[in-house]
Structure 1
Amino acid sequence: MAGSTTEERTPRGERRQESSGPPPVRRLGRRHLRVIVVLAIALAFAGSGAFWLLYGSDLVRAEKVSVSGTRILTPAQVREAADVPLGEPLISVDTDAIASRLSRKLPRIDTVDVDRSWPHGIALKVTERTPVLLVQKGGKFIEVDDEGVRFATVSRAPKGVPALELAVSRTGSAAPSLRRFGEERLVREAVRVARAVPAAVAQTTRSVKVRSYDAISLELKDGRTVDWGSGEQGAAKGRTLTALMKAAPGARHFDVSVPTAPASSGS
């Protein structure tokens, strides 16, 4: 009896199927390859278009400069010092270089933000330094900010800004203070004191006098004086001075150099 064939050994209702054509996976891989090539070509065209738009087109070039935040300076002064390269592609304008030029040419500027304002503008947001003390030199006044920076010379004293008097002797007992700290450090200590003075007292302060690092005093517009000492413990000295002035309203001299042991005199 002849043996069973392969077809007969196959379960009923099932027949072995012969493969025809390439595997589906291979066809899918070719399809993906075509998609990737098309996308790459599209991206290349898009990239070249974006490059042309940013660097070659007249649609996004620097054409105007806006200025905000000025108080003493004028927008025209800021624009001139900024020297923005008008007509250049906006993307290639060096904003850091503009900020550097402004700080160098206009010391009155404390900080400046330089931003691109698409599609045609450069925006300059300026913050000017505020004087807290004045140094008189000849008939003019040098403005000193809250960091001790001497940033501008003006012909008229700004209203409400006290004078700085450097009465430091280069000989005698005060000389070591000058040699140790230097004039600039003493100026910064005076600024530190001026910032710590209570607002009500600051409004009536005529001058801040520096004799040495730890011998700084205030002269008020009505002739009263305050021994402040060094710039240390400024907040405590300010609170003590306010309380002392309320407790002795007729006094002419106040000493808060040691805030835990204040004194007043000269009613």
Structure 2
Amino acid sequence: MFGRRQVALSRGDDRVVSTGLADRLKERQTALRRLRLTRAVKTAVVVLAIVLTVWALAFSPLLGLQVRRISVAGSDGSVSDKQVRDVLASYEGDSLLRLDTGRLSTQVSDKLVRVRRAQVTRAWPHGLRVHLTMRVPVATVQDSDGYQVLDNEAVVLERVSEAPSGLVTIVPDSAAQTSGPQRISAKQVAAVTQVVGSLTPETLAQVSSGSATEAGQVTLTLSSGASVVWGNSQDNGLKARVLATLMTTTASVYDVSSPHRPTTRSADGAATTAAAPSQAS
């Protein structure tokens, strides 16, 4: 009997041990589930906070563009603030974070012909700053509808019924042998505008007209009656500097077609080789 009682006790101990292990395992599983649930809740809260932040900043009115808060600088008066705002009006309410300022800059310069370049930057929290670089009218040419006003890239800035004062008039090539009215080609117009656009303001103020051959050889006429043999449109910047120096002396012809050996001719036909470009610049 003593042996059987010992066996019974041993079996009871086994059951107690087994029950204890099961309870601890259950507690551990419960704690693990709670930990997972806590982590899931925290993750959900973080994700929700991120979603709400993104929505608030990118899609809500919090940082929405207000067109009336678009400021414009750099205009010469030919483009109004309202015209710039009208170009950007379709973005009213869009978050500043989502606006592509590079694209907006291109839109302004594409839609407004008088604008050469536009730079759009954000003005937090609801505005934009638009800085304009304007096209400068330098020449005019007559067409069937009146006169075109052009910049140095031969872009037509406007059409007017009468030739504006203060601009270089592009005229037909007088040396061309043609019968009937002589047309001025787009190539000739572009050649003259490039040259005129490279002149210093002081020189430009003394130029009354310009012409070009079909080969692109440009000649300018000054208000004094003197002429400038420019040649092609290579080295325009150098030629402009050389011409500005040559015009400090009186001559009937200023020849900068070879800017490294420029010459002048007086009314009696005497030719003079001018200073080297290094001295002229």
Q: TM-score range by the shorter chain?
A: 0.5 to 0.7
Partner AA of 1:161 in structure 2: L
2:137 maps to: 131
2:114 to 102, 108, 112: 108
Deviations 1:208-237 (CA, angstroms, capped at 9, x unpaired): 222343531111112222222222233443
1:232 maps to: 234
Matches within 5 A, 1:179-218: 183-218=185-220
8 Å CA contact 1:67, 1:78 repeated in 2:
no
Matches within 5 A, 1:5-154: 40-55=43-58, 57-65=60-68, 66-68=70-72, 69-71=74-76, 72-93=78-99, 98-137=104-143, 140-154=146-160
* Matched position secondary structure for 1:263: strand
Deviations 1:26-71 (CA, angstroms, capped at 9, x unpaired): xxxx9x9899657634421321221331355332222234131222
Mark the CA change 1:158 to 1:80 in structure 2 (over 3 Å): closer, same or farther.
Answer: farther
What TM-score, normalized by structure 2, do the two folds share? Answer: 0.64
Query: For the residues of structure 1 that align with 2:162 and 2:86, how far apart are their CA atoms?
Result: 25
After alignment, is 54-63 or 161-170 more displaced? 161-170
8 Å CA contact 2:188, 2:211 repeated in 1:
no
Percent of aligned positions that are identical: 26
Query: For the residues of structure 2 that align with 1:63 and 1:228, how far apart are their CA atoms?
Result: 51
Partner AA of 1:262 in structure 2: T
8 Å CA contact 1:168, 1:212 repeated in 2:
no
How far has the Cα of 1:101 moved from its partner?
4.3
Query: For the residues of structure 2 that align with 1:96 and 1:236, how far apart are their CA atoms?
Result: 34
Query: For the residues of structure 2 that align with 1:54 and 1:159, how far apart are their CA atoms?
Result: 52
* Matched position secondary structure for 1:84: helix
Alignment gaps of 5+ in structure 1? 1-20, 22-29, 173-177
1:223 maps to: 225
* Matched position secondary structure for 2:90: coil
Deviations 1:109-141 (CA, angstroms, capped at 9, x unpaired): 212233343322233332221123222346854
Mark the CA change 1:143 to 1:82 in structure 2 (over 3 Å): closer, same or farther.
Answer: farther
Residue 162 of structure 1 pairs with residue 168 of structure 2: yes
8 Å CA contact 2:187, 2:214 repeated in 1:
no
Aligned pairs, how many? 231
Provide the aligned C-alpha RMSD in A: 3.9
What TM-score, normalized by structure 1, do the two folds share? Answer: 0.67
Pick the structure with greater CA Rg. Answer: 2
Mark the CA change 1:155 to 1:124 in structure 2 (over 3 Å): closer, same or farther.
Answer: farther
2:252 maps to: 252
1:16 maps to: none
How far has the Cα of 1:108 moved from its partner?
1.3
1:14 maps to: none
8 Å CA contact 1:67, 1:126 repeated in 2:
no
Partner AA of 2:263 in structure 1: P
8 Å CA contact 1:214, 1:231 repeated in 2:
yes
Query: For the residues of structure 2 that align with 1:255 and 1:123, how far apart are their CA atoms?
Result: 46
